[in-house]
Amino acid sequence: MKNAAWDLYQLFLDVARGGGLTGAVASTGLSPATIGRRMLELEQQVGRPLFQRSQAGYALTGDGQELFDQLLDMEAAARKIDSWQRDAQGAAVVRIAAGTWVGWLLSQNMPSICSERDGFRIDLHLAERRASLAHRESDVGIRAFQPEENNLAAIKTGDVAYAAYQARNMRFAGPKCWIAVAEEEAISAYLRWPHENEKEAITVTVNRPRSLYDLVLAGSGIAVLPCFVGDLEPRLERVDGEIASLRHGQWIVMNDADRHRREIRTVVDRMTHLLKSHADLFAGNRPTYL
């Protein structure tokens, strides 16, 4: 029998912990078809049925449970080896995955997250796609929903509100023109909102959310922004009130098995303090400039 690769075993753990393909999709970003095919491949390699498949999900068979228990020991050993390698390489690295705007706030406050006195450094990865902590691509992530994966720990930091903004000196400039991220790049709900509600009025599209802010400041039109971004800028004003349908919670997430590592615990504690100290601003409760 050919030995299964460790990444296939890790995927098996994701399916088992998530109770089926949906949970594994959330933690890995792979399609259900790909995950299902790989689980069949694993069963063929080990020569035993590992799941009882039904509309309710994937339940472990006796052999599947036995494999799951053994893999937990392997996973723990892999973490120890990973930690040993990091120690040999010098300063530890804490990998943070965040969206464009939370990353923007973290960047502005990085000295409160990591300083030269700390024995670790930060690797900050910004993207609109959900923060994935599967297979340790990231250590800490920011998500707009409570994680469903059983192996993740989460801390809610509050709510995030959104509104449409324009430059203050453009309030009497004539017909409303909208700026939006190109539809194929509009992953998040707030990026899709102009396409779903102001499609005919969109005059400029960009490929990055960060460009929305610059274009609105330049007087190029109206764009949807998080209130913690728009309300901090005195040169911007809300066009109307909060877009209530876009409000969502915000969570700091980390792998449950790693959250007690000193450097991760330190970074998470500091990020929690930073985000909670801005809770009113995130929730759109800070008075706008007059």
pLDDT 10s digits, 232-267: 999 999 998 999 999 999 999 998 878 888 899 999
Tokens linked to 256: 């449950």
Whether pLDDT at 89 is above 80: no
Beta pairing partners, 249:
159
Cα separation, 282 vs 210, whole angstroms: 17
Question: If pLDDT is split at 50, 70 and 90, which confidence band does 290 have?
Answer: very low
Q: How many CB atoms lie within 10 A of CB 117?
A: 5
Quick one: pLDDT at residue 83? Answer: 63
Cα separation, 224 vs 243, whole angstroms: 9
Phi, psi torsion values for 64, nearest 5 degrees: -65, -40
Q: Does domain 91-158+249-278 sit in CATH 3.40.190.10?
A: yes
Report the CATH superfamily, name and number, of domain 162-246.
Periplasmic binding protein-like II (3.40.190.10)
Quick one: pLDDT at residue 49? Answer: 94
Same CATH topology for 6-86 and 162-246: the answer is: no
Amino acid 199 reads: K
Q: Output DSSP code: residue 222.
A: B
Q: Output DSSP code: residue 229.
A: H
Q: Map out the domains of the chain as residue ranges.
A: 6-86, 91-158+249-278, 162-246
Quick one: pLDDT at residue 92? Answer: 83
Question: If pLDDT is split at 50, 70 and 90, which confidence band does 112 have?
Answer: very high
Largest CA distance in the chain: 74
Tokens linked to 133: 């902590």
Global model pTM greater than 0.85: no
Quick one: pLDDT at residue 27? Answer: 65
If one compares 55 and 39, the residue with the highest pLDDT of the two is 39
**CATH architecture of residue range(s) 6-86:** Orthogonal Bundle (1.10)
Quick one: pLDDT at residue 18? Answer: 79
If one compares 98 and 117, the residue with the highest pLDDT of the two is 98
Crossing angle of helices 21-28 and 6-18, rounded to 10°: 120
* Average confidence (pLDDT) over 170-185: 81
Q: What whole-number percentage of the chain has pLDDT above 70?
A: 87
